[in-house]
Amino acid sequence: MKMTYFGHSAFRIDTGRAVILIDPFLTGNPHFKGDVAKATEGATHILLSHGHGDHVGDTVEIARRTGARVLGTYELVNWLASKGVETIEPANTGGTVKFDGFSVTLTQAFHSSASVEEGGKITYLGMPNGIVIHFDDGSSVYHMGDTDIFGDMALIEELHQPKIGLVPIGDRLTMGGAVAALACRRYFNFKTIIPLHYGTMPILDADPQRFMDAMEDESSRVLLPEVGQPFDI
pLDDT tens digits for 213-225? 999 999 999 999 9
The answer to whether position 231 is within a domain reads no
Q: Is 230 among the domain residues?
A: no
Exposed / middle / buried, residue 30 (Cβ in 10 Å: 0-12, 13-18, 19+):
exposed
Q: Is residue 109 part of a domain?
A: yes
Q: Domain for residue 59, yes or no?
A: yes
User: Would you place residue 226 in the very low, low, confident or very high pLDDT band (cuts 50, 70, 90)?
Assistant: very high
**pLDDT for position 117:** 85
Has residue 229 been placed in a domain? no
* Domain assignment present for 233: no
Q: Can you give the residue range of the structural domain that contains 29?
A: 2-223
pLDDT for position 228:
97
In a domain, 147, yes or no: yes
| CA gap 146, 193 in Å, rounded | 15
Does the pLDDT value for residue 118 go beyond 90?
no
Q: How many domains does the chain have?
A: 1
Mean predicted lDDT score pLDDT of the chain: 97
CATH number (domain holding residue 75): 3.60.15.10
pLDDT for 47: 99
What values do phi and psi take at 229, rounded to 5?
Answer: -105, 115
pLDDT tens string 77-117? 999 999 999 999 999 999 999 999 999 999 999 999 999 98
Position 107 in a domain: yes
Q: What is the mean pLDDT of residues 184-190?
A: 98
